[in-house]
Amino acid sequence: MGSETVIAPHDRNPGQPSDAYFGPAHPARAGVANLIIDPKTPEWMSQMLRQTTGAITDYYAQAFERPLPYRPLVMVSVSDFDSPGLSMKGGAVGQQVVYRVGGPALLRDSPQAQALFKELIAHELAHVWQNNVRRGGIGGDEPWVHEGGAEAIALAGLLRTGLISLADAEAYSTKLIRECEALKGAVDTYRGTYACGFKRFTDKKTDIFRLWKAMMDASEAKGEVYSGSMIEAITKSAQGSRAPEVTGSSQADRRQRTKHHRRSATFATRSGTMTASGPIANAAAALIERRSALR
Ligand SMILES: [Zn+2]
pLDDT for the residue 84:
77
Q: What is the CATH number of the domain that holds 74?
A: 1.10.390.10
At residue 24 the predicted structure's pLDDT band, cuts being 50, 70 and 90, is: low
Residue 111 CA to ligand 1 centre (angstroms)? 22
Residue 267 belongs to some domain of the structure: no
Q: Are residues 190 and 84 in the same domain?
A: no
Q: Which residue, of 97, 130, 163, is where some domain finishes?
A: 130
Residue 183 CA to ligand 1 centre (angstroms)? 19
Residue 26 belongs to some domain of the structure: yes
Give the percent of the chain with pLDDT over 90: 56
Residue 43 CA to ligand 1 centre (angstroms)? 25
Highest mean pLDDT among 45-54, 264-273, 285-294: 45-54
Reply yes or no on whether the pLDDT at 17 is more than 90: no
Tell me what the mean pLDDT of segment 242-270 comes to.
38
Q: pLDDT digit string (tens) for 142-190?
A: 999 999 999 999 999 999 999 999 999 999 999 999 999 999 999 999 9
Residue 271 belongs to some domain of the structure: no
Residue 242 CA to ligand 1 centre (angstroms)? 32
Residue 146 CA to ligand 1 centre (angstroms)? 7
Residue 275 belongs to some domain of the structure: no
Reply yes or no on whether the pLDDT at 62 is more than 80: yes
Domain tally, the chain: 2
Residue 201 CA to ligand 1 centre (angstroms)? 15
At residue 22 the predicted structure's pLDDT band, cuts being 50, 70 and 90, is: low
Residue 187 belongs to some domain of the structure: yes
Tell me what the mean pLDDT of segment 118-142 comes to.
95
Residue 290 CA to ligand 1 centre (angstroms)? 7
Q: Are residues 99 and 156 in the same domain?
A: no
Residue 284 belongs to some domain of the structure: no
Residue 235 CA to ligand 1 centre (angstroms)? 23
Q: Which residue, of 104, 130, 156, is where some domain finishes?
A: 130
66: containing domain: 5-130
Tell me what the mean pLDDT of segment 89-98 comes to.
88
Cα 185 from Cα 17, distance rounded (Å): 34
Q: Are residues 157 and 78 in the same domain?
A: no
Residue 17 belongs to some domain of the structure: yes
pTM: 0.75
Residue 170 CA to ligand 1 centre (angstroms)? 20
